[in-house]
Every structure is written in C-alpha cells, then in structure tokens.
Chains A and B, each alone.
Chain A
Amino acid sequence: MKKEYQRYVIAVLLLIVVFFLLLFLNIGMGSVTISAKQILHILMGYAADDTAYNIIWKIRLPRVTASIVLGGALALSGFLLQTFFHNPIAGPYILGISSGAKLIVALLMVFALNKSYVLNSGMLVIAAFAGSLISMEFVLIMAGKVEKMSMLIVSGIMIGYICSAITDFVVTFADDANIVNLHNWSRGSFSGVSWDNVSVMSVIVLITTTITFLLAKPIGAYQMGETYAQNMGVNIKRFRILIILCSSMLSACVTAFAGPISFVGIAVPHLIKRILNTSKPIIIVPISFLGGAIFCMGCDLIARTAFSPTELSISSVTAIFGAPVVIWMMIRKVGDSSYGT
C-alpha cells in the first residue's frame, strides 16, 4: 500500500476511535454519571433504571446526535466557503452568515412568542436559510467590491456585528418568560434539542452532505482557480450557485437548532487537511464531517461538565479551541506569497 493511503487509513481509524470514545463520554457524563455497562444495557433496549433511561433517551442522546450532525455540517460549510473564496480563513461565522441566520430566526421566534404560536423545526430552518442567503448576498457584493481577501473577512465580521446587535436588541425587548431560552440559543447551545429537531436536521444535513460529496470532483477543479476549472469543463456559474446553496443550507441548519457556533468551520477543515496532508475534496469532505462531529462533541462535553451545573455557551468553548488554530494558520501563512489574503 502506498504511503499516503497508509496515512489516510491510520488517521481515519484514530478519528473513529476518538469519535466513539467521545460518544460514550457524552452519554455517560453529566450531573448524573451513568456507567458504560448501564449505557450498553439501555442502548440495547433492556429497561434498567428509569431515570437513567430517560436521561439517555430524552436528553443526552438527542443532544449528542445534534452535536455530531451539526458539527459535521459546520465543518463542511466552512470547507465550501474556503473553496469558494479561495481563502483559508473563510467560514460561516466569520463571514457573518451565521449571524444573518440568527437574526432572522430570532425575529421569527420573538414574533411567534408574542402571538403564542408554536414554531416547528422546518420553519426555523427556512428562516435560518433565508437569513444565511441574505448575509451571503452581502458578502458576495463585498467580494465584488474589495480587492483584498482580508477586507472581505473584515466586512464579514462587520455584517456579523450588525446582525448580532439587532438580534440582541430584539431579544432584550421581547417580553416573555421564554426569553431565557431565546437568550441561551442566541449565544449558541446544543441544550434542549428534541428528537423531532434531530430528525429534521439529520435529513437536511444528510442530503446536503451527499450533494457536497458528489461535487468533490468540481471542487477539486475549482481549487485550481476559475480559469483552470472552466478549462477542465466545469460549469462555473452552476457550480458557484450550488456551493453557495449547500454552504448556506448547512450553516442555516446549525443556526436554526443550536445558534451561532464559532470557528469550527475554519479550524476543523484546516486540521483535517494537516492530519491527512492533502486537500483532495473526495477525502476532505467526508473526513471533515467526521472531524467536525468530534470537535463539537468534545466541546459540548466541556460546555456541559466543566462548570456544572452552570452550562457554558458552546461558542465560548469552540472559540477557545478553534481561535488558536486560526491564529496559528495565519502566522504560518505570513511570508507565503502564494496567499494573497
């Protein structure tokens, strides 16, 4: 077997081991500790302890599933945006796309709270998707106007600030007891996810991820730049639209159910590329998904347990681990002339 394949196999096996380890820890750890034996029993369907059964099936399992699905979605969304803008530090959070989604979802939630109307998962996703596309539109306009890619990032951050400010404003003035939940959500959290939420997000993310995986070939061509991609036979216009739709959909899904989550989209694809020493989309797309899932499971575990019973917002934890990766990336790129950021 060739050396590069050996590397892939070893890395993927390790990631899978870490994945299951974290999965178990996430199910077992918390205010009530559940032993591995009990977990297996309960998962296999033997009704053991009622409390433990309920904790696992009603709280921890949907929550950990959400962190897997949404973590993967975030990583992929980031990877697509990086490809699209030819910029390694592009991501849904930093470009303000998550914040746009957050704003529209918050508006919808406040509106629904006032009218005592119960929102379903689908409506949340649609609102988030609309918000993502609006932000994306702004980013694209800016991309056409600014020459330097670093300015694009700055304008993305500005869009993010504006949207967050309006969201805070709306949240502050909404009058309802439920506001606490809304506030938690707007800071980013996996808590309170239901099976209904999980099934909706899983279907959407599965479809979008499949489409993304099928786009691996043109993504590879697009990494070489537009002129070359076009010469290889890629329909550039159609491809760009597909990438925008997929990345917006993935990040919208995350925002709708867990609020904005920072840095996963930038840090994970980069780490995965480093670990595997390749940027081939056919490998990076599925493994980034796995990496995103691991990253978010780990961060959520910390968010839940570090200062229990107080829960940290997921974004603070992902920032602590993700932001240094981004800084490290930028330092490495300094002096590398091939990066025109």
Chain B
Amino acid sequence: MEHDYFLFTDHLAVGYQGKALIEELDIHIKKGEILAMIGPNGAGKSTILKTITKYLKEIKGTILMDSSDINTMTNKEFSTKTSIVFTEKIKTEMMTCKDVVATGRYPYTGRMGILTREDRSKVNQAMELVHITNLKDRDYTKISDGQRQRVLLARAICQEPQLIVLDEPTSFLDIYYKLELLEIIKKLAHKKKIAVFMSIHELDLAQKVADYVLCVKDGKVFRYGKPEDIFKEEVIQELYHLNNGSYNALFGSLEMNQTFGRPNVFVIAGGGSGITTYRKLQQKGIPFITGILHKNDIDYQVAKHLANAVIVEESFEPISDAVYEKAKVAIRKCDYILNCLKQTGSMNERNLELLQTAEKAGLKKLHTTDELDWS
C-alpha cells in the first residue's frame, strides 16, 4: 500500500471477548498530525485506543504501523514505536517522578534495566520539554493530578515513540494545565513530527488542537474529518444527543436549554452586553425575549439558545420599521423591561426609542436580574 500514513487501520473492528463494539474503523494518521477522538461516554473510545496499542486484540481488520502489521512486530519493536498516556491510575510506591519518567526507557535498556548515561540524558530532556525538572525528586504519589499527567507525558516522550496515544489526557485538569498540556502535545506533533491520537472530552480544546477529528457513536464512525467540518451545531448536537442544552459552533461553548413558558421580561441588549443577563435569567428559570439584535452581534449567539424569542435585524442594516414593530408587539406582552445597553450607534439607536416605548406602555424598569424573584 502506497501512502505515508504512520498509523493506518483497515476495516478494523474492536471490542471485548470476540464481540465487536465498534466496526469499520478506517483510521489514518501521518507523522506530525494530531487526531482527536470525540464521542459520548461508553462509545468505545478507550477500547479503540487499547486496541491500537496492542493491549486488546483486534476483532477484525488490520492495523498497520509504519506499513507493517502490528501483529508481526515483537513487543519490544512495538514499544519503540508507540507510547501511551492512559487514564488508569498508577499506584507507585516510593518512586520519584524521575523514576516514573525513566520507565519510558524500558525498551532500550538491557537485561537488568540499568540506565546508561544516554538514557539518563533522554529522561532529563523529556522532563525539560514538559517543564517538570523541578519535580524530579518528588514522590509521584504526592503531586497534583496536573503534574502527574505531565510526568506521564514525559514518560511517553522519553520512550521516543513515533506515535503517542493518549486517553483523555486533559480530564481532571484545571484550565491552566489543560492548555499547557495541549500546547506541549501540539509542539511534539509539529516540531518532533510525532503522530498523536487522543480521546478528549473538551470540544472547544479539541477544535483548537486537532488536525483531524474522529467522532464515534453507536458502534461506528459517526463522522471523520477536519475540525471545521465536525464542529458544527447539528453534528455535535446529534453526536451527543443534546436535548437538554445546545452547542454553539462559533464559541465552541455549551449552552443550557431556554426556559419555556410565557416570557414576561424584555431584555434590550447588543454588543455583548446581554450575555451575562441571559445566562442569569436562564439560571433563575425566567423566560424572556430579547432584541433588537443584529445577526452578527455576539449577544445573538447566546440569545438564540437561551431566549424564548429574539427580535433580529439583518447584519449591518439599521433597524427597520418592520422589525421595530415586531419588538413593540413583543414588549406589550411583557411586564418588565431590562436594559443592558451601555452604548448605541447609528445602527441600533432605535433600541433607545424602544426603551421609551416600553416605559410609556407601563413596563416596570429593572436594573439587574436580582430584582426579579420568580417564586
């Protein structure tokens, strides 16, 4: 087969005890590429990763690594090509972080596993690369989850693999460590030309780090492609069966569902001034209408998920009479008006007019959502 993929699977089926959990996997990764795998819990992401790394036997199909079948490789040969960062907790006993990293040199050491000077310098380099040199003498059980994850990554690096397989490397990490870890992974892929295959739950991060994205669901590949083709509202919504919230493709963020019921509050917003208020109202379970927003306003991105109705105007157009009338009709049905706008310009100045209309119509003016107690 003529291709330059480092990892290539053909009609692969994976599962346990001869039973396929996921079938027809055609995965391909080149050196220097990052493939992120997303999908609901229990879809079999870990099973795929465990099969790729030879821990589980494949049910059907072939896995080629560097153009040769992984089953024809010796354990040692395989271990110099692939290394892992998995979720299972390692119970070490009196091992320093450096000891843990050094286990990555296993395939290269002799019968008794004694480290040579070269091995030691590779261990040090790997620790430098992930910025954990300061942890080298600390006990592995006495450091934080974020630090542990980096130690395991350093371990994987000093195994000098051409492919690193990571199972949810960012879970349990705070945002600082998440970003740092992914930054290192990106650097590894792009600078050291290592192929990376990882499962990940954070869609926003996956979108930013992956070259390709594999979505698995219901025993098969649901979608496989570039991030821009995957991170779309409808794809993600279907992948995760989102019915108690929604995915915003532009922000890569998740929003809860709108509160149903007769809206009683009209929120005037625009230019990002409304987002906090929308989320607060949603949290309190208060249905609301908002407007008048332009379609390219960032408030609109959140409003369309959270508001019961949004009065919108086309992008870059001044507010037309028709839209204004719609807003007026909506306002008359409400009891409260909340103005978030701090600033207006020629495109949305009619919102101020709308506020006056509301006050004239006898709506109670609110300054914050706290004035509303919906009990």
Contact = CB atoms under 8 A, between A and B. Distances in A.
A235 B103 contact: no
B86 A233 contact: no
A230 B93 contact: no
Given A235-B75, A279-B92, A224 B103 contact: yes
A234 B113 CA distance: 12
B141 A230 contact: no
B90 A225 contact: yes
Nearest to B89: A338
A316 interface: no
A217 interface: yes
A88 B76 CA distance: 29
Given A233-B75, A233-B76, A233-B107, A217 B90 contact: no
Interface in B47-89: 50, 53-55, 74-76, 78-79, 82-84, 86, 88-89
Contact of A227 (B79, B86, B100): B86
A214 interface: yes
Contact of B107 (A220, A232, A338): A232
Interface in A289-341: 336, 338-340
Interface string B13-35: 00000000000000000000000
Contacts of A226: 55
Contacts, number: 84
Nearest to A234: B75
A243 B71 CA distance: 25
B204 interface: no
Interface residues of B, number: 34
Chief secondary structure at chain B's binding surface: loop
Interface in A115-147: none
A280 interface: yes
A148 B36 CA distance: 33
Interface in B103-147: 103-104, 106-107, 109, 111-114, 141
Interface in A87-123: 88
Interface string A243-285: 0000000000000000000000000000001000111101000
A88 B79 contact: no
Interface of A: 86, 88, 214, 216-217, 220-221, 223-228, 230-235, 273, 277-280, 282, 336, 338-340
Given A216-B113, A232-B107, A338-B141, 6 more contacts: A227-B86, A231-B83, A232-B79, A232-B106, A279-B95, A280-B99
Interface of B: 50, 53-55, 74-76, 78-79, 82-84, 86, 88-95, 99-100, 103-104, 106-107, 109, 111-114, 141, 159
